[in-house]
Amino acid sequence: MNIIDGKAVSKAVRTRVAQETAALKEKGVTPGLAVIIVGEDPASQVYVRNKEKACEEVGFYSEKFALPESTSQEELNALVKELNARRDINGILCQLPLPKHLDDKEVINLINPIKDVDAFHPVNVGAIMIGDYNFLPCTPAGVMELIHAAGVEVSGKKAVVIGRSNIVGKPMAMLLLHENATVEITHSKTQNLSEITADADILVAAIGKAKFVTSDMVKDGAVVIDVGMNRDENGKLCGDVDFEAVKDKCAYITPVPGGVGPMTISMLMQNTLTAAKIQNGLK
C-alpha cells in the first residue's frame, strides 16, 4: 500500500503557480481573485481564509467580500456584475452554500464564464463534457493530479465513482472518461453497490458518509481516492473510506486529512492563473 501525499503534490502545484505568477507579473499582470462569502457559516469562513492565504502565498491579488446574512439577491447579483466588469479581478468565487433565501444557480449563471474559476457555470460544465475547456472544477481536477502524481495509468481501467453531485461526482466521471477509463457512476439508489465497487481498479468515494467504503467493497490492488470530509463518532476528521480497514488491500490510497483536501485550493490557484492569462491575451 502506498499513501498518496496530497500535501506534497499540492505544494508542487503551488510552487509551479507561484513561478508562473512571478513571470506574469514581469509582463505587468497580477492575477486577481474575488471571494464572496455571505453569512457566518464557520466551515465556509475557514475555507475562505485558506483561499486568501493561498493567494498571498502564490503572489495573487485577492479581495474578500464578506456580506451579511441579510444580503438580498439583488445586492449579491449587483456585486457579481461589478466584479465581472473589473479588469483587476480575473476570478470570481462565491462560497457555497449560500443562506437559504439566496439562489446559488442565479449567482453562478451571472458570473462571466471566463472568470468562473470554480467551473460551475453551465458554459464551463458543457465545455468539460465536450473535452474543450479552460477550467476544471477544483476537486475533480485535484483528484486527477493525485492519480497522475502516483503514476497510475488510467487508460482502459475500470473506474467507479460513488456520488453524483454537480461539483464532484459528475465532472469526476467525465475527467476519468477523457483519460479512457471505463467509468461507472454510483449513488444512493444503486443496487448491489459493493459488487460494483469491488470490481473497480480506480475507486473515487464522494458521498459524504463517514467510513462508508469498507474492505469488502475494495478490489485487491485498487487505487482508492477519498473525497470525503466527515467527522467520526469521536468527532475526529475522517473520509468516506474506512482507511484502516482498506489501506492494506489497495495499491494506492489518499488519506483524510492530507489527501484530496489540500489539492482543491491549489487547483483554484491554477484556474485563477489561467483566467488571468486568458483575459490578458497570454494564452
Element holding 231 (H helix, E strand): strand 230-231
Query: Rule CB under 6 A: is residue 94 a binding residue for ligand GUN?
Result: yes
Query: Rule CB under 6 A: is residue 266 a binding residue for ligand GUN?
Result: no
Minimum distance from CB of 69 to ligand GUN (Å)? 17
Please classify residue 249 by burial: count the beta carbons closer than 10 Å to its beta carbon, then call 0-12 exposed, 13-18 middle and 19+ buried: middle
Residue among 32, 111, 28 at smallest CA distance from 276: 32
Q: What angle do CA 182, 147, 155 make, to 5 degrees?
A: 30
Minimum distance from CB of 77 to ligand GUN (Å)? 16
Contact status, residue 152 vs residue 202, Cβ threshold 8 Å: yes
Which of 9-17, 94-102, 250-258, 272-280 is the region at the interface with ligand GUN (rule: CB under 6 A)?
94-102
Task: Write down the catalytic residue from 115, 116, 118, 157.
Answer: 118
Contact status, residue 161 vs residue 169, Cβ threshold 8 Å: yes
Which of 12-20, 58-66, 87-95, 127-135 is the region at the interface with ligand GUN (rule: CB under 6 A)?
87-95
Contact partners, residue 61, CB within 8 Å, separation at least 6: 30, 31, 32, 33, 55, 88
* Nearer to ligand GUN among residue 104 and residue 199 (C-beta): 104
Give the distance, in angstroms, between the CA of residue 48 and the centroid of all CA atoms in the same chain.
Answer: 14
* Nearer to ligand GUN among residue 31 and residue 261 (C-beta): 261
Contact status, residue 162 vs residue 207, Cβ threshold 8 Å: yes
Give the distance, in angstroms, between the CA of residue 33 and the centroid of all CA atoms in the same chain.
Answer: 16
247 belongs to the catalytic site = no
**Within 109-138, which residues bind ligand GUN (CB under 6 A)?**
118, 138
Q: Which amino acid is at 61?
A: Y
Query: Rule CB under 6 A: is residue 223 a binding residue for ligand GUN?
Result: no
Q: Is 154 helix (H, G, I), strand (E, B) or coil?
A: coil
* Nearer to ligand GUN among residue 95 and residue 270 (C-beta): 95
Minimum distance from CB of 266 to ligand GUN (Å)? 12
Query: Rule CB under 6 A: is residue 17 a binding residue for ligand GUN?
Result: no
* Nearer to ligand GUN among residue 138 and residue 217 (C-beta): 138
Pairing of strands 182-186, 252-253: unpaired
* Nearer to ligand GUN among residue 96 and residue 127 (C-beta): 96
Q: Which amino acid is at 17?
A: V
Which of 88-96, 190-198, 243-251, 273-281 is the region at the interface with ligand GUN (rule: CB under 6 A)?
88-96
User: In DSSP terms, which residues pair with 231 in a beta bridge?
Assistant: 237
For ligand GUN, which residue of 95, 186, 271, 274 counts as binding (CB under 6 A)?
A: 95
For ligand GUN, which residue of 93, 136, 213, 238 counts as binding (CB under 6 A)?
A: 93
118 belongs to the catalytic site = yes
What are the backbone angles phi and psi of residue 257, rounded to the nearest 5°?
-80, 175
* Nearer to ligand GUN among residue 119 and residue 149 (C-beta): 119
249 belongs to the catalytic site = no
Task: Write down the catalytic residue from 51, 170, 211, 277.
Answer: 51
Cell of 104: 446559488
Q: Residues interacting with ligand GUN, by CB under 6 A?
A: 93-96, 118, 138
- Catalytic positions, written as ranges: 51, 95, 118
